[in-house]
C-alpha cells in the first residue's frame, strides 16, 4: 500500500508538495521489510525534480524522522544504472566530479577516457573546487594521484590544467598574434612537436583569449587547430588536446557530441550518459540540449528514449526535463 499512497500523493500535489512531506514519501518508497517492494518511480519523481540543496534537505529530514541514513537506504533499495544516477544526484557537482576522477584512476589501470573528459572539460575555477573536495573526501592530493597514474606529455598536460589559475576572461590583444604564431611554430611548422609550448599556451590563457588565438592561427597554418592536433600528436595526448580545444570553442557542443557518440549504437554507453547528465544537470544541461538538437536534428529527450529503457530511461528523461 505504501507505493499506492505515495504515488497518489505525488499526483495530487504535483510539484507544490511541501518539502517536509517528501522525506516521509521517500521513507515509504524505500522498503523496510523484505516483503515490501521498492517504489522506484516515486524516488525518481522526487529526487530528479529538485535541486541539490533541496535533496540535501530531504536527506536531512529523512534522517531525523527515520533515524536512518537516506543514502544508505537508497543504496540498499536500488541497483545498477538507476542506483548510479540517484547516488550521483545526492552528491554536489564538485563531489561528483571528484569521485569520477577518483574512480577513473583507482585500482589497476586507468580509465583515460573519463580522466580526460573530467580534467580537460572543467574550468580552472571548477578544478580548484574539485581539488579541494577531492582532498576532503579521499584525504589525498588529486594532482599526486593523477601524476601517479599517468606519464609523459599526457601527465604534464593534465597537471598543468589541474594547477592552472587562468585569468578569467582576460584577452591580451598584444599576445594573440604571438600565441598563434608560437602554436604554429611549435607544431605544424617544425619537424616533431614542441608539446611543452602547446601546453603552456593552452593552460595559461583565458578561454576568450584562446578563441581569438585559434582564429588567428588559421592565418599561419593551412590546418585549423583541431586538424593540427590530429596531425601532430597521438593517443591520449591527442584526445586531451582535442577535448580542450572543443571545450574552448563550445563546451556544450562538446558534451552534446559526447552524448550522441555514446548513443550511436542500439544500446547506450550508460557510464558516459550517466556521467554527463548527472554532472551537468545543475550546470548547463539546457544549453547541451539545444546543441544536441542542432547537431542531430533530434532532441536529447527522444534519443535517450530510443537508446535506454526501464527505470534508467525514466530517471534520465526526468533529469533531461523536456523535449525540444
Ligand atoms: Ca610538426
3-class DSSP string for 223-237: CCHHHHHHHHCCHHH
| Structural domain boundaries, residue 272 | 251-320
State whether 266 and 307 are in the same domain: yes
Do 7 and 54 lie in one domain? The reply is yes
pLDDT at position 20:
57
CB atoms near residue 195 (< 10 Å): 19
Residue 309, pLDDT above cutoff 60: yes
Residue 11, in any domain of the structure: yes
Residues 36, 244: Cα–Cα separation, whole Å: 49
Gap from CA of 154 to ligand 1 centroid (Å): 17
How many angstroms separate the alpha carbon of residue 117 from the centre of ligand 1?
25
Residue 290: pLDDT above 80? yes
In this predicted structure, the answer to whether residue 28 has a pLDDT above a threshold of 70 is no
For residue 39, report the distance from its CA to the centre of ligand 1, in Å.
Answer: 58
Residue 167 lies in a domain: no
pLDDT score, position 87: 97
Question: Which among 248, 277, 296 is the end of a domain?
Answer: 248
Question: Rounded to the nearest whole angstrom, what is the distance from the C-alpha of residue 229 to the centroid of ligand 1?
Answer: 9
> For 120-141, what is the mean pLDDT?
96
Residue found by looking up cell 499526483 in the block: 11
Nearest Cα to Cα of residue 76 among 20, 138, 34, 24: 34
- Is residue 123 classed as helix, strand or coil in its secondary structure? coil
Distance CA 266, CA 133 (A): 37
Distance 193 CA to ligand 1 centre (A): 5
285: CA distance to ligand 1 center in Å?
37
What is the tens place of the pLDDT at every residue in 67-92?
889 999 899 889 999 999 999 999 99
Give 3-state DSSP helix, strand, coil % of the chain, rounded to 5.
75, 0, 25
Q: Is residue 87 part of a domain?
A: no
**Residue 200, domain CATH:** 1.10.220.10
Per-residue confidence (pLDDT) for residue 166, from 0 to 100: 67
Instruction: Confirm whether 65 is domain-assigned.
Output: yes
Average pLDDT on 33-59 reads 84
* Res. 277: pLDDT tops 70: yes
217-243 average pLDDT score: 98
Asked if residue 168 belongs to a domain, the reply is: no
d(CA 59, CA 68): 10
Which residues are CB-neighbours of 58 under 8 A, at least 6 positions away?
Answer: 19, 22, 23, 26, 46, 47, 50, 70
Is residue 11 pLDDT above 80, yes or no? no
- Residues 236 and 256 reside in one and the same domain: no
Higher pLDDT, 60 or 101: 101
Separation of 185 CA from ligand 1 center, angstroms? 8
Residue 123 Cα to ligand 1 middle (Å) = 28
For residue 205, report the distance from its CA to the centre of ligand 1, in Å.
Answer: 22
* pLDDT given at position 21: 64
Q: How far is the CA of 316 from the centre of ligand 1 (A)?
A: 43
More confidently predicted of 155 and 165 = 155
Asked if residues 55 and 89 have their Cβ atoms less than 8 Å apart, the reply is yes
pTM of the model: 0.89
Number of domains in the chain: 4
What is the pLDDT at residue 19?
58
For helices 300-307 and 285-296, give the axis angle rounded to 10 degrees: 80
Predicted local confidence at residue 12, as pLDDT: 41
How remote is the CA of residue 225 from the centroid of ligand 1, in Å? 13
pLDDT at 65: 82
Locate cell 571528484: which residue? 98
Separation of 83 CA from ligand 1 center, angstroms?
Answer: 47
DSSP-based three-state secondary structure for 308: coil
- Residue 66: pLDDT over 60: yes
> What is the phi/psi pair of residue 132, to 5°?
-65, -45
Q: Report the pLDDT averaged over residues 307-322.
A: 96
Inter-axis angle of helices 80-89 and 310-320, to 10 degrees?
30
Highest mean pLDDT: which of 55-69, 160-174, 213-227?
213-227
Query: Residue 239 C-alpha to ligand 1 middle, in angstroms?
Result: 17
C-alpha cell at 7: 504515488
| Ligand 1 centre distance from Cα of residue 232 (Å) | 5
DSSP secondary structure code for residue 16 in this structure = G
169: left (phi over 0), alpha (psi -120 to 50) or beta: left
CA of 107 to the centre of ligand 1 (A): 36
Question: pLDDT at residue 5 above 50?
Answer: no
Q: Choose one of 18, 52, 78: the last residue of a domain.
A: 78
Does residue 36 have a pLDDT over 80?
no
Q: How far is the CA of 191 from the centre of ligand 1 (A)?
A: 5
State the Cα angle at 142 between 141 and 145, rounded to 5°. 90
263 and 295 in a single domain? The answer is: yes
Amino acid at each position: 500500500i505504501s507505493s499506492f499512497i505515495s504515488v497518489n500523493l505525488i499526483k495530487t500535489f504535483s510539484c507544490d508538495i511541501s518539502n517536509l512531506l517528501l522525506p516521509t514519501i521517500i521513507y515509504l518508497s524505500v522498503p523496510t521489510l523484505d516483503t515490501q517492494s521498492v517504489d522506484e518511480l516515486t524516488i525518481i519523481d522526487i529526487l530528479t525534480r529538485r535541486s541539490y540543496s533541496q535533496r540535501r534537505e530531504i536527506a536531512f529530514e529523512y534522517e531525523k524522522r527515520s533515524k536512518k541514513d537516506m543514502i544508505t537506504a537508497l543504496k540498499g533499495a536500488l541497483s545498477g544504472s538507476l542506483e548510479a544516477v540517484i547516488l550521483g544526484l545526492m552528491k554536489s557537482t564538485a563531489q561528483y566530479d571528484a569521485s569520477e576522477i577518483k574512480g577513473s584512476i583507482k585500482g589497476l589501470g586507468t580509465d583515460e577516457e573519463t580522466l580526460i573528459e573530467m580534467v580537460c572539460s572543467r574550468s580552472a575555477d571548477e578544478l580548484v573546487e574539485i581539488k579541494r573536495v577531492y582532498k576532503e573526501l579521499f584525504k589525498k592530493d588529486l594532482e599526486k594521484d593523477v601524476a601517479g597514474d599517468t606519464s609523459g606529455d599526457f601527465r604534464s598536460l593534465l597537471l598543468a590544467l589541474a594547477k592552472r589559475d587562468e585569468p578569467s576572461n582576460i584577452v591580451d590583444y598584444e599576445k594573440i598574434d604571438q600565441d598563434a604564431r608560437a602554436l604554429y611554430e611549435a607544431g605544424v611548422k617544425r619537424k616533431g612537436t614542441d608539446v611543452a609550448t602547446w601546453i603552456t599556451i593552452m593552460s595559461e590563457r583565458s578561454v576568450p583569449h584562446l578563441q581569438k588565438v585559434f582564429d588567428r592561427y588559421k592565418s599561419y597554418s593551412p590546418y585549423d587547430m583541431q586538424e593540427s592536433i590530429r596531425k601532430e600528436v597521438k593517443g591520449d595526448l591527442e584526445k586531451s588536446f582535442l577535448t580542450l580545444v572543443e571545450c574552448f570553442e563550445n563546451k556544450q557542443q562538446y558534451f552534446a557530441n559526447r552524448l550522441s557518440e555514446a548513443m550511436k549504437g542500439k544500446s547506450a554507453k550508460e557510464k558516459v550518459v550517466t556521467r554527463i547528465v548527472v554532472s551537468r544537470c545543475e550546470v548547463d544541461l539546457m544549453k547541451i540540449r539545444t546543441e544536441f538538437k542542432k547537431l542531430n536534428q533530434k532532441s536529447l529527450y527522444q534519443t535517450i528514449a530510443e537508446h535506454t529503457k526501464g527505470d534508467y530511461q525514466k530517471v534520465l528523461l526526468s533529469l533531461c526535463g523536456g523535449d525540444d
